[in-house]
Amino acid sequence: MQHRLEAVIFDWAGTTVDFGSFAPTQIFVDAFRQAFDFELSLAEARGPMGLGKWQHIEALGADPVVGARWQARFGRPMSHADIDHIYRTFLPLQVERVAAHADLIPGTLETIAAIRGRGMKIGSTTGYPRQVMERLMAAAEAKGYAPDCTVCADDLEAGARPGPWMALQCVLDLGIGSVARCVKVDDTLPGIAEGIHAGMWTVGLALSGSPAGLTLAEYETASAEERRAVRERVTPAFVEAGAHFVIDTIAELVPVLDEIEARLGRGERP
């Protein structure tokens, strides 16, 4: 049936695990400090979230504010050698700590069960390298979450986000018949771009991910007004990036899948 969805492809940190996506952001701060005694704020570290981690560091070096501070400190722009050194510092820190940020975002198990109950497959892509994901996948599986496939930022020669390649590799791995019957769910703008470039429906997560920057405790104790304020701050960027839907967290996804199938039934495509 051409109106039935075949797969959902999820991001990891900020989408299915690690509410607020704190594991990578804090470690970028620590890696810059350890590698070059260079101070980076958490807000600055969040800026390029969703890219591969080497590309994330490169983007921070190209950021007008961070780059100017780097230039003032070292008298030169950040070089590829500098990026390599920060990345080599980042990687073991991330491998060491990622399992401590493997708690599932509330609603993940229920949503995954509902998706599987519809006969759909579960794919995943991530800005983490494979070395980090081996640790995170094992920790998540112990908590009950194991997608049918995972494609990492360093798996493909073509590259990672914002290109379509990781999402399209999921299509191949899962044996999907049409990209128009796939949904990409992500808390980052590069992740939304990945889905759009792959020809998929896209769903942005406004409150569980890096742009919102809330801890789970902050989210759970926030008033309706406080949540609305964060939602209004974060959502426009997702809309501008082309997200077809924007919801708070993965817990609200199933009704969106119903709406997408209704739109497919009317002949609409992403």
Residues designated as active site: 11, 53
Spatial CB neighbours of 217, under 8 Å, sequence gap ≥ 6: none
The two three-digit tokens of residue 255, written as one number? 């009704």
- CA dihedral over 144, 145, 148, 153, signed as positive or negative: negative
Residue indicated by tokens 């073509």: 158
